[in-house]
Amino acid sequence: MFRRATTLLRRPLIGATSRRFSTDLPAAAVEDSSFVEAWKKVSPNVDPPKTPLAYMKPRPATPSSLPSKLTVNFVLPYASELSAKEVDMVIVPATTGQMGVLPGHVATIAELKPGVLSVHEGNDVTKYFVSSGFAFIHANSVADIIAVEAVPVDRIDANLVQKGLQDFTQKLNSATTDLEKAEAQIGVDVHSALNSALTG
């Protein structure tokens, strides 16, 4: 019964070597060599067309020493707020709390809660209120922050926030079904976060 145990135990180790970390991907542009060879066999006189692989921009390599700046890509479904901007630090509102990201941060995927995202560049701080989203921090000090809705904090109307907070607190008290309670709780969370963004 245990004769095959050694072969079975060896299997995962063999499988593990073929899977690499995403940060190990090549930094230089790769040409699809097998396609080019097959093309040249069929029509050697015509230049092979470019494949989608050739159009993909290579990912920035993980530098061996700590980089001095963090590259931030902050995108929304309808606009790209920051595109490959070099900054000193960003503070993202993760569900686990305000997370400060500096160059050389460990690779992380963080789910964002409604809160303030601040981008620090020298002495300038730009604050955005983010409704929800994700932040992907890569080992090569590139941070991709995606949000469904993000507004500069000065575009928020304080009166509407107060009114919303009162409405949803009332709804939370009078809610009956689980779904109603959840919706009211979301309303209370978002409006309290908006409130603290305005005051903080």
Partner 1 sequence: MASAGGAAPFWRAAGMTYITYSNICANLVRNCLKEPFKAEAISRERVHFSLTKWVDGKPEKPTVRSDPTEH
Chain residues binding partner 1 by CB under 8 A are 78, 95-96, 110-111, 114, 129, 131-133, 148-149, 151, 155-157, 160-161, 164, 178-179, 181-183, 185-187, 190-191, 194
Closest CB 141 distance from partner 1, rounded Å: 21
Taking the complex as a whole, the smallest distance from the CB of residue 1 to partner 1 amounts, in Å, to 31
> Which are the contacts of 12, defined by CB distance < 8 A and separation ≥ 6?
none
Closer to partner 1 by Cβ: residue 57 or 155: 155
Q: How far is CA 186 from the centre of its chain?
A: 22
Nearest-approach distance from CB 172 to partner 1, in angstroms? 12
Smallest gap from residue 98 Cβ to partner 1 (A): 15
In angstroms, rounded to a whole number, what is the distance separating the alpha carbons of residues 53 and 137?
A: 24
**Nearest by Cα to 53 from 74, 77, 76, 28:** 28
CB 120 within 8 A of CB 139: no
Task: Give the whole-angstrom CA distance, residue 88 versus residue 72.
Answer: 10
- Minimum CB distance to partner 1 smaller for 121 or for 167: 167
The sign of the CA dihedral 91, 93, 96, 98 is positive
Q: Which is nearer to partner 1, 58 or 97 (CB)?
A: 97
Nearest to 66 by CA among 24, 22, 103, 107: 103
Least distance (Å) from partner 1 to the CB of residue 129? 7
Please say which residue, 19 or 155, places its beta carbon nearer to partner 1. 155
Nearest residue to 32 via CA among 47, 51, 17, 49? 51
- For residue 129, report the phi and psi dihedrals to the nearest 5 degrees: -95, 125
Closer residue to partner 1 (CB): 87 or 117: 117
Cβ closest to partner 1, residue 70 vs residue 110: 110
Shortest distance, position 139 Cβ to partner 1, whole Å:
18
